[in-house]
Structure 1
Amino acid sequence: MFATRYIGGIRATFSLIGFLLIWEMVVRALALPGYVLPTVSAILEQLWRQQQPLIAAAMTTSQQALLGFGIGAALGVALAVALTFVGRLRDALMSIVVAINIVPMIAYAPLVVLWFGVGMESKVIIVACEVGFTVLLGTLDGLNRVDKRSVDLLRSFGAGPFELIRKLRLPSALPSILTALKLSTVRSIIATIVVEMLGAYQGLGWTIFQSVVMSDFLTVWAAILVASLLSLAFFGLLAWLERRLVFWQ
């Protein structure tokens, strides 16, 4: 299994390197202007020149994304568990939650910025809502996939609803929960950057917006590269955690 993952990692690395080399060669061959599509080497040079402000912006964005991610994940799991205890009300409550989330959460961002300002609060709230809905659906799916025979067996030994949740439903739902958390990693970074574009004094989104205003397209691409690396690192951390916690799969 380790060898398979190692080989898969090598293939992914070479695929990424090949893609970047093709990008570099195509841009040079077509002599595309930098404002249309810069070369990879130019983006890396700009990243090196602007490393300190970009690192500071990445720290701000990651802090807001992680805080919103943690709050959203906790609320999503807690709400899913609570809904399992109110079976008759679950459909009605889920209808309200789904109705709110029919509109992409980013569409609420201008209102949230207006209500809570351009500080950290607006970013954390949007990320928490974005992540919470995904985790809620994933947790509910996992909680409902429990084998009925296992439920009946525990009930025959006198297990109550809380013991069923703690000893059976939550452990069985762990793979679904972690899958939802992995899907939410990239969403949390994207949501944070978008809200930063609408109103902020720092962060990658603010850097991208300011660079576009000043027509500094190399810095835009450098910030996008940093955001991509941040998302990959976040996703990789959750994937590593999944392998440790759901080792039986």
Structure 2
Amino acid sequence: MLLAMLAAATLGESSFPESLVDERRHRTIPIEIHLPENEARCTSQQRCNVAFISSGYGVPHNKYQFIVRSLVQRGFMTVSIGHELEQDPDLSPVQPFYATRAENWQRGAQTLTFVRESLEPVFKSYDFEHLWLFGHSNGGDISAWYANATPKYVAAIVTIDSRRVLLPRNKDIRVLSIRGSDFPADANVLYSDSERATYPVCVKQIPNARHNDMSDYGPNWLTSTMSNAVSVFIENQSCK
């Protein structure tokens, strides 16, 4: 049934589904799919990039349109994914977070796997074997967890003020971490000077950027600055 719905959507017979049902885990996962502006260039012989966008905790999954717009203009298919459901326990406020929140990040990584395995058989003109992962705050932690656990499916990761999960130390995964100004990351989440010289990573600090504003709810100057950082990262092989 799912494959039939998605296949119909790709043929223009209906709109894309707004959720996927993971029957094994009894989860209905909200999604929003956008195809690239130049989708005719995407073929099974020359597949276009795929970006998974994971929202921050408490932020609707479709409130990162500034990222979506930047990506579809550059030939990406985007899949915005909602991770937090009403049935889920609240994000733990108890330290140490790396232990008390691990279940949340593991569940999110399982969701990314499910979405990839569900969409790949239908969207054959798109590359689900080399994903670009985008995530804000807890969504960035989920993305980092997935990239560390399943690196073979990840080409690049962009986190927006993720704070808890160590970013990948992997020469095959490009990393951009956009940093706000009001909260620091936990110890060792970001890179030492020697690690920056070793791995293909970029860390961009944005002055006066509040963590809770780093979505579509934020001011135009901030979403524009983040969008530009993403564009430069996509188009260039270094931070400069």
TM-score (normalizing by structure 2): 0.23
Rg (Cα) greater in structure: 1
Q: Which has the higher helix share?
A: 1
TM-score by length of 1: 0.23
